[in-house]
Structure 1
């Protein structure tokens, strides 16, 4: 089944030239709920890597920040939430191919689905027109998030949460390890852990302060 003319027009504008392989782009827009042999997952896998490389190169060219800060910004810029934000700006939801149940369940505005489709479209562009075209597209489409400072000066807990999401890890878990001393001068020790990555312990004069310190230490060690 061919894509409708309005979707082909949309894709041609997105790609910067008429699309060469309609089946490829149709696959990039197709959610698994359609029950078709091919959906966007393989192209999403590819697009995720292309996006990461383009943004990493872009950050390297435009910042003298240390690796930890670069990683923080990279994770924010390639996160599912940012991908979904870009997809909405471009008008991707109107062209996604969803089954009735997924559509009824709000899939057309789901950050998870929109983020995946956005990455799949980048993958399709890479396959169809090569890396230079994909780089140009990403730099144009991500110009606002990049200029807006996504991932810059984040609170350590927010940065860790974003890092975990961007790397498709389970959310960080905070555990109170101990509370020592009198009420007026208590010291709290908190452990933060991300499954299959690692953990970090830190102390503070309040539980919140200890959690913040633990998140900061975790990012220094693992991000």
Structure 2
């Protein structure tokens, strides 16, 4: 077993899942930069696409059975559980970074700790588990590594964070929160937005999302979480 094979074996041990088809986990850990464009290598993007949908299904099913809330409240909780930052935390928890394959330039630029890459890798691993072991195996992985995230999200108020921020800002005389896109990356079919929200007299915060609306919501949530007492 080569060095990367040993890293994969260690990752499987931490995950609690051993792949029957090792090519799947290998592909799930391969960033598009790997090989520096010298040769065509299958990367994790297709698995990420699949894993994103598997994650959405598992989360939607969990929320459907866990609460009697309306569609809007369910959607807000779902968005919090499938966002890139949540997936990146799961990747960090299982130590995905060490096993990622990427170009030297991407590595030197801190690619192994980038939220976008760790989030993508987490989704690709979930997609790989689904293909290798079916929905039940994917659910076992989800139940184990999303448990803490689910507990946190379920304890939070279901009111939209942008509404909450508007209300709190009005109380302290901060005026309407100001949202602006400060970064947009990724291809047209899979964009990633970074939005900054600013409230006069209080401060600012940033959020990342797959749409401007989601990024604004996460920015508002982060500012609420850091609201001065």
The TM-score, its normalising length taken from structure 1, stands at 0.68
Structure 1 CA distance, aligned partners of 2:119 and 2:58? 16
1:28 — aligned with what?
Answer: 28
Greater than 4 Å deviation, 4+ residue runs: 167-174, 194-197
TM-superposed CA distance for 1:20, in Å, is 0.9
CA contact (8 A) 1:28 1:121 kept: yes
1:8 — aligned with what?
Answer: 9
TM-superposed CA distance for 1:157, in Å, is 6.0
1:156 — aligned with what?
Answer: 162
2:92 — aligned with what?
Answer: 88
CA contact (8 A) 1:29 1:39 kept: yes
TM-superposed CA distance for 1:80, in Å, is 0.2
CA contact (8 A) 1:28 1:40 kept: yes
TM-superposed CA distance for 1:54, in Å, is 0.2
2:187 — aligned with what?
Answer: none
CA distance 1:94–1:155, shift in 2 (3 Å): same
Structure 2 gap segments, 5+ residues each: 166-178, 185-189, 198-209, 214-219, 221-229
Structure 1 CA distance, aligned partners of 2:211 and 2:149? 29
Q: Secondary structure at the match of 2:102?
A: coil
Structure 2 CA distance, aligned partners of 1:48 and 1:57? 14
Decide which moves more: 110-119 or 3-12: 3-12
* Aligned pairs (5 A) from 1:187-202: none
TM-superposed CA distance for 1:113, in Å, is 0.3
* Paired positions, count: 173
CA contact (8 A) 1:15 1:125 kept: no
The TM-score, its normalising length taken from structure 2, stands at 0.66
TM-superposed CA distance for 1:9, in Å, is 3.3
Structure 2 CA distance, aligned partners of 1:170 and 1:76? 15
